Structure 1
Amino acid sequence: MSRKLAFASLLAAAAAQGAGNQQTETHPKMTWKRCSAPGSCTTVNGEVVIDANWRWLHLDGGTDNCYDGNEWTGCSSESECTSSCVLEGADYTKTYGAKTSGDALSLQFVTKHEYGTNIGSRLYLMASQSKYQMFTLMGNEFTFDVELSTLDCGLNGALYFVMMDADGGTSRYSSNTAGAKYGTGYCDAQCARDLKFVGGKANVEGWKPSDNDANAGVGPMGGCCPEMDVWESNSHSSAVTPHPCETVEYHVCETTNCGGTYSDDRFAGGCDANGCDFNPYRMGVQDFYGAGKTVDTSKEFTVVTQFSEGLIYQFFVQDGVKIDMPNTTVQGVEGNKINEEFCKNQFAAFDDRDRFNEVGGWSKMNEALRGEWVLVMSLWDDHYANMLWLDSSYPPEKASQPGGDRGDCPQDSGVPSDVESQHASATVTYSNIRFGPIGSTVEV
């Protein structure tokens, strides 16, 4: 009896989303500043980690792939893949085009390496080797500098927060032993189903390879949580967007209950996949953001975002000058801040479904802002809608209608194959991150 129990215990220990030993995982170092008042900031020594979805996934004890291209290859069931497959360490610069220098992180869009080609990346700020840096947004402001002059139509340099677990899910799911050190535990308001692992389990049973993305697919499970898009942008358009969820923490959905980008019914899940966005171009001010405009995207600038009860406000600093977000010119919508009145009026003016309030609105968003968030820094293209929802007219039939025009990019732009071939060297740099009470991170 005792020998059987011991054997069963060994099996349980082996059944885990673990880490391999082919390459040592060494996180690039990156500093940031914690502020208490203008001009009073302390440097924090941090590091960054790339998301587990980008990593080489292979059979434990060897080098055979568990996942190749956009298909699972080395295993076939949830239990087998969870217990047999391990995540490998990363060569950040050579493989993923990600590098740090002091307080700056640069992400290159396409990177060719000895094993193939990497497209885009998603990284997280770390507090230690095994824990993500956690931020409580309510009552605080988050500030960073950005250089995105090479990000053309169809690209998205996104800096945002999601309510991931600090340890990447190891405490919540015993089957996840790789944890934050290997970038596990991603979630967002789209209830991401393109993840190879969700809730510590392999997302393999029912996985469908993408028909237009050689590296991606969609599985039955999705990782869901509130999302605060501080910055989704390229050199043509930008948007700041809160996304509340009914459940204010990491949670798992399955198939028809997920909603979001990866489901037939976008509104089926418990999160607001669309959010309540402030995109200056969409709000009627077309000469505000872009190359040579008020916020000139041909050169570096600073983005400041403030979070208070029921209110999100963003402004910019460039060449030492504060630039307020412009007031909307859309009929029936007023102001330059995101609050309850703005969201309610925007949905009505644009004839959009108010999913924001259906999932709890500001009550749920405020609850989330009082919680803890992980900082995400990424660069990506869009195989579902060509990024038209950020920088062009979307949906296409709403061109020239209220809320339909979101940027000056053509409707035939953003096709991933074109973007990847024409703008492979595009790079975004996030730097000089500062965080502290409202009014503490900038002097203007």
Structure 2
Amino acid sequence: MQFKFASLLAFTLGAIQVATQQVGQYDTETHPSLPIQTCTKSGCTTVQTKIVLDSNWRWTHKVGDYKNCYDGNKWDTATCSSPEACAKNCAVEGVNYSGTYGITASGNSLSLKFVTKHQYGTNVGSRVYLMANDDKYYMFKLLNKEFTFDVDVSKLPCGLNGALYFIQMDEDGGKARFPNNKAGAKYGTGYCDAQCPHDMKWINGEANLLDWKPSDLDANSGVGRYGTCCDEMDIWEANSMATAYTPHSCSTTKQERCSGTQCGDNGPDRYLGVCDKDGCDFNSYRMGDTGFYGKGKKVNTNQKMTVVTQFITDNGQASGTLKEIRRIYKQNGQVIQNSRVQVAGVPDYDSITTEYCDAAKAAFNDNPHFQTLGGMRKMGQSLNAGHVLALSIWDDYYASMQWLDSAYPLDRDPSEPGIKRGECERGAGDPKKVEANSPDATVTFSNIKVGDLNTTY
């Protein structure tokens, strides 16, 4: 997820929305159904999958007690005197998906509402994962395959992100690798991404409370000493104004906890970490076709659309090397091929390839960290190992989502190539404004399919 640094820090959590590794006994965890389809040239078959809420949103309390282990944006040091003690003393609860978090699943459709007021306070944003059953995530292997879904972003203004992406999480949420983790995938544990986020309250079965720094901007979030890293394939980061799809490579081969320089945090360490934070993004607006995606444009965000992403290998087999990530849209019965690059000095590519990444990075004066960490080859190896599907809605307390839909970085002139990423004005995505003005913003994903090339749409 490009330019998010402390990834998903922007999610505002109410007092009850925190994480742990033990399992509470007050609320039953019932996973909403979200069936998908797997497709071949012979047709499509329905698979009965489910969703689970990320553990970072859940109420954490002392075992056998209603006392919070994490309150506001601070840990209770009496209960959590150490990372290990916190894992032993604290429990995570089941959740009310719709009433507390604004998450509604119906048929093959999933709606994520931005702000939900409930009896305990207010929830902002959410993130869920697709499950094969109540204890394991559904693992996707995407080489020589395509992934397709329908999406409605018409109710997502500047500053919001309705995201759908793949990450190399453990199938069981880390339960087997880390004995302190008693909750596992059933309670949404084990998150990682290429930003190596420090805002995760639990990593590797331990509380991330060492050096915990409460956020000055977000009253319910903070960052700890450790981050959690893995390869990430951003299929869809979007609102009604802009969209990008972006692979992020890492030198790791599975989810790993990081600290210090290896996390690649902001400043001089950004391009020294184990993961590529910028990614090799394809954003049609940034690539010069400003009339392709948006309200009333060729891909019209006032209406639902179908989004197809193909992972093409060099030998046409799943055993091959990833050489191209191709995007196709379908809307109102019409297949729409991806836009072509319209940037001086860059050939008119219409998909992500090594050649595209090299040319775009050079034209925009961007660091080629994606290529340094293995680029498309490494991304393909990671996808072949198996990825978990994440779906989320969030706002951005660090950069106001300007890396997606406005002019970014802020210290560069918008007239420079690659700086304008969408039509949103700088500052339009300020989280405080977005939360106040667009609480009912919603993204709806539906009709998820995975299958052989050219079989899902």
TM-score, scaled to structure 2: 0.91
How far the C-alpha of 1:264 sits from its partner, in A, is 6.7
The equivalent of 1:13 in structure 2 is: none
Confirm or deny: 8 A CA contact 1:148 1:428 kept in the other structure. yes
How far the C-alpha of 1:142 sits from its partner, in A, is 0.3
Distance 2:363 2:454 in 1: 32
Matches within 5 A, 1:346-357: 346-357=360-371
Distance 2:265 2:38 in 1: 34
The equivalent of 1:92 in structure 2 is: 97
Confirm or deny: 8 A CA contact 1:280 1:328 kept in the other structure. yes
The equivalent of 2:402 in structure 1 is: 388
The equivalent of 2:294 in structure 1 is: 290
Matched, 1:231 2:236: yes
Q: Deviations over 1:135-167 (max 9, x none)?
A: 001010000000110100000000000000000
How far the C-alpha of 1:372 sits from its partner, in A, is 0.2
How many percent of aligned residue pairs carry the same amino acid? 52
How far the C-alpha of 1:75 sits from its partner, in A, is 2.0
Matched, 1:336 2:350: yes
Distance 1:333 1:71 in 2: 48
Q: Deviations over 1:384-431 (max 9, x none)?
A: 000000000001223110000000000121111100010100000000
Matched, 1:211 2:216: yes
Confirm or deny: 8 A CA contact 1:150 1:426 kept in the other structure. yes
The equivalent of 2:164 in structure 1 is: 159
How far the C-alpha of 1:45 sits from its partner, in A, is 0.9
Matches within 5 A, 1:61-140: 61-73=64-76, 74-140=79-145
Paired letter, 2:342: T
How far the C-alpha of 1:208 sits from its partner, in A, is 0.5
Q: Deviations over 1:201-228 (max 9, x none)?
A: 1101111111111221101111100000
How far the C-alpha of 1:368 sits from its partner, in A, is 1.1
How far the C-alpha of 1:260 sits from its partner, in A, is 4.6
Q: Deviations over 1:65-103 (max 9, x none)?
A: 001111112423212211111111111001100010000
The equivalent of 2:57 in structure 1 is: 54
Distance 1:216 1:83 in 2: 22
**3-state secondary structure, aligned to 2:382:** helix
The equivalent of 1:5 in structure 2 is: none
Paired letter, 1:368: S
Distance 1:52 1:229 in 2: 21
How far the C-alpha of 1:37 sits from its partner, in A, is 1.9
Matches within 5 A, 1:306-325: 306-308=310-312, 309-325=322-338
Matches within 5 A, 1:415-426: 415-426=430-441
Confirm or deny: 8 A CA contact 1:133 1:375 kept in the other structure. yes
Paired letter, 2:388: V
**3-state secondary structure, aligned to 1:93:** helix
The equivalent of 1:274 in structure 2 is: 278
How far the C-alpha of 1:310 sits from its partner, in A, is 1.7
The equivalent of 1:29 in structure 2 is: 33
Distance 2:219 2:289 in 1: 38
The equivalent of 1:191 in structure 2 is: 196
Confirm or deny: 8 A CA contact 1:76 1:205 kept in the other structure. no
Q: Deviations over 1:312-358 (max 9, x none)?
A: 00110000000111110012222101000000011000001111112
Confirm or deny: 8 A CA contact 1:271 1:359 kept in the other structure. yes
Matched, 1:439 2:420: no
CA shift in 2, pair 1:168/1:219, >3 Å: same
How far the C-alpha of 1:265 sits from its partner, in A, is 3.1
Picking from 298, 303, 307, the partner of 2:307 is: 303
Confirm or deny: 8 A CA contact 1:146 1:428 kept in the other structure. yes
Q: How many residues align?
A: 425
Paired letter, 1:298: N
Q: Deviations over 1:160-183 (max 9, x none)?
A: 000000000011111111000000
Picking from 344, 356, 360, the partner of 2:374 is: 360
Distance 1:106 1:344 in 2: 37
Paired letter, 2:397: H
Q: Deviations over 1:20-62 (max 9, x none)?
A: 1110000011111111127x10111111000000000111111
Distance 2:84 2:131 in 1: 30
**3-state secondary structure, aligned to 1:30:** coil
How far the C-alpha of 1:365 sits from its partner, in A, is 1.4
**3-state secondary structure, aligned to 1:172:** coil
Distance 1:357 1:264 in 2: 19
The equivalent of 1:171 in structure 2 is: 176
Distance 1:239 1:149 in 2: 16
The equivalent of 2:445 in structure 1 is: 430
Q: Deviations over 1:237-258 (max 9, x none)?
A: 0000000101121111013321
Picking from 413, 434, 443, the partner of 2:428 is: 413
**3-state secondary structure, aligned to 2:356:** helix
The equivalent of 1:372 in structure 2 is: 386
Q: CA RMSD in A?
A: 1.2
Distance 1:193 1:242 in 2: 21
Distance 1:255 1:94 in 2: 39
**3-state secondary structure, aligned to 1:143:** strand
**3-state secondary structure, aligned to 2:193:** coil
**3-state secondary structure, aligned to 1:338:** coil
Paired letter, 1:221: Y
